[in-house]
Amino acid sequence: MATFRRFYGAGPGHLIAMLVCLAMAAYGGYGIFENARPWTVLLWLAGAIVVHDFVLLPVYTGAFWLMSRIPRGERRRIPLLHHVVAPGALSALLFLAWLPLILRLSERGYGPTTGMSQQPYLGRWLLLTAALFAGSAVLYGVRSLRARRRTSAGAPKA
């Protein structure tokens, strides 16, 4: 086992996990290129890279920078920033994953193929986004209350 770790740099579990991930990626790549024209897929990937690097990255970096400038007050207070960024990032990721259905861009292929409508996707995404932010707000409230109790319990009585 020591020889394996010295040669590979990690345990056998890591190697197995990496091989499984590579197999899943290869299967996904095969599924993408099996029925699509490779140039359209590569064009879509290039567009996604450009949009992310030149549009989205500056937007969310700037938003994160602005939110980090909000005064934090007490030293032990729970930072609000993480409770806004986490549900926002999850909501944005879900929006990007389901974009064609949320914006009803797949009317021709989706309805005849599945027999379903794209109608509920926008409402469901909005409800899920609201639930993510509400859950984060509740968690922030609980964590802030616990921090306040710990601070007041440790303070000397006058």
Same domain, 126 and 63: no
- The domain tally of the chain equals 3
Q: Are 96 and 58 in the same domain?
A: no
Q: Same domain, yes or no, for 138 and 112? A: yes
Three-class DSSP category at 73: coil
Q: Are residues 29 and 90 in the same domain?
A: no
Q: Each residue of 26-69: pLDDT tens digit?
A: 998 887 777 777 787 788 889 889 988 998 889 888 887 887 77
* 127 phi and psi angles, rounded to 5 deg: -65, -40
**For residue 54, what are the domain limits?**
39-69
Asked if residue 74 has pLDDT above 70, the reply is no
One domain for residues 128 and 87: yes
pTM (2 decimals)?
Answer: 0.60
First to last CA, the chain: 61
Same domain, 90 and 126: yes
